[in-house]
Amino acid sequence: MIENLPPCPKCSCEYTYEMNALVVCPECGHEWVPADSEGEAAGERVVKDAVGNVLRDGDSVVVVKALKVKGSPSGIKAGTKVRNIRLVDGVDGHDIDCKVEGFGAMQLKSSVVKKA
């Protein structure tokens, strides 16, 4: 439960209340998800790894499950460390741009890595 509920962003009503994961305004009926303290309030895109840690540009990550790489006889093994990642708006959920040693530049999904 949130201690101090924010006022309604549409009508500035102070009498908002929680309903499950939403905050609701009783005057205008507006419903919204309250912003996290990790940057979502400022409109920043928050990327989290497989265990819920927030990722940032320049972090090092470890691959948590074996990945097949198209055109390569062997894939990326679980436990492979990837340094100096870059967060991007990728295609099909691939939101990490990086260089994997032995494979070169590629994009990974944040759901298959954890922060090192």
For residue 41, the SS3 value is helix
Cα 59 to Cα 7, 32, 37, 79, 86: the distances in Å are 36, 31, 20, 16, 8
Give the per-residue pLDDT at 66. Answer: 94
pLDDT in tens, the chain (116 residues): 566 788 888 888 888 988 887 889 999 888 888 765 444 444 567 889 999 899 999 999 999 999 998 888 889 999 999 999 999 988 888 999 999 998 899 999 999 999 98
Cα separation, 58 vs 112, whole angstroms: 17
User: Angle 51-45-56 (CA atoms, 0-180°, nearest 5)?
Assistant: 55
User: Does the predicted TM-score (pTM) go above 0.85?
Assistant: no
